[in-house]
Amino acid sequence: MSKVRLAIVRQKYRPDGGAERFISRALEALEDGSLELNIITRSWQGEPKPDWHLHICNPKKWGRISRERGFAQAARACWQREEFDIVQSHERIAGCDIFRAGDGVHRVWLEQRARIVSPLQRMLTGLSAYHRYVMAAEEEMFRSPSLKKIICNSVMVKNDIIRCFQVPEEKFAVIYNAIDCQRFEPATPAERQQSRAQLNLPAETKVFIYIGSGFERKGLHASITALAATDAHLIVVGQDKQQSRYVSLARSLGCETRVHFVGVQHNVIPYYHAADGLMLPTLYDPFPNVILEAMACGLPVITSFTCGGAEFIVEGEQGFVCDALDVAALTAAAQAIPLRTVDARMGDAARQRVLPCSPQRLADQLHALYQHVLQQP
């Protein structure tokens, strides 16, 4: 029996990115000999497996629109030339068989961002040729007759696509990201103590972790403001060009000694082990992997209605969900989450909720999806 030739399209492969972690986990889980794995990309960081076939499409670019359009044209030409059996794109490129909507809907992100920017910024966004290009590319792709299936990593994104583009229900497959629950585990008392000692955190003070690059979108302003009204500490993992603005915010609120900026971390587990909960009131996020990681480590989660991860949280059981900008609700949630050493029930419930999200389950769901697509005319 000949192998199914699967092409996965991602413009820039970064091992630390959420979409890339989905791809790598899926590819590793799918290596059962039935698939020939092809990656169409502009650039690849990290070490691909020897039997992954890389197709580098790196046309010249002179700006953001040129970058997007050039890669789309080169990637489409590559998959048409190679005649793959299935093309699964993680970029907004019309003509693919499967699109994974890992970045959500651009129009919905702009709707949410409009809540926090100035009227001038809203006007400039509306006039932006780049944003108009992305929304047009998105619409062309969702309306393309070639598109057989859309993978969403949350029901929220599925509903956003249906609302914005009237795509029929049968085109969707909701497949949650996978998490390695053997690697991401709750801290032992010794691990918790060691992590806190290394970070110079008090042994019995409540600590939250925030993880994400792109502080504006991920809700760091609301997180710092909410925690300023408590005595909790906040570990900020990630980077942002505007970091100094958030340092100044913490200073102005009198909590700068309790907000710890630690930058990007390649091994984030010790930071989870130092925490009692995850704080991520993101303005718009389809389903960040950090929510699965934190829950697997036994951390309750505070997040927003505009985060797909909210689907895994029953209020007061695995954490709390509120509006991304509701500082009073965020403060109340932070106060309601207990120290893990005092009461671990909420954190244990969080871990139980993500245990089914195994790489094998992801592989099985993708296998079934690919078989369905191959049987379509």
- Give CA separation, 368 vs 170, 339, 362, 365, 373, in Å: 15, 42, 10, 5, 9
Quote the pTM value.
0.92
- B/e letters for 199-236, b = 16+ CB within 10 Å, e = fewer, are bebeeeebbbbbbbeebbbbbbbbbbbbbbbbebbbbb
Average the pLDDT over 296-312 and give the result: 98
| pLDDT tens digit sequence for 195-222 | 999 999 998 899 999 999 899 999 999 9
150 pLDDT higher than 80:
yes
Place 46 in a pLDDT band, splitting at 50, 70 and 90. Answer: confident
Average the pLDDT over 27-45 and give the result: 78
* 109, 134 Cβ separation under 8 angstroms: no
Average the pLDDT over 271-292 and give the result: 96
1 pLDDT higher than 60:
no
pLDDT at site 377: 74
How many whole angstroms separate alpha carbon 72 and alpha carbon 57? 9
Share of the chain above pLDDT 70, in %: 94
Q: Which residue has the higher pLDDT, 266 or 224?
A: 224
Cβ neighbourhood burial of 162 (10 Å; 0-12, 13-18, 19+): middle
Q: What is the DSSP letter of 170?
A: G
| pLDDT tens digit sequence for 8-33 | 999 987 666 666 667 666 666 666 66
Nearest alpha carbon to residue 363 among 129, 25, 18: 25
- Tokens 């907004």 -> residue: 92
pLDDT at site 166: 95
34 pLDDT higher than 80:
no
pLDDT at site 367: 84
| pLDDT tens digit sequence for 94-135 | 999 999 999 999 999 999 999 999 999 999 999 999 999 999
6 pLDDT higher than 60:
yes
Place 376 in a pLDDT band, splitting at 50, 70 and 90. Answer: confident
| pLDDT tens digit sequence for 61-85 | 999 999 999 999 999 999 999 999 9
Q: Tell me the pLDDT of the chain averaged across its residues.
A: 92
DSSP string covering 137-174, please?
HHHHHHT-TT--EEEESSHHHHHHHHHHH---GGGEEE
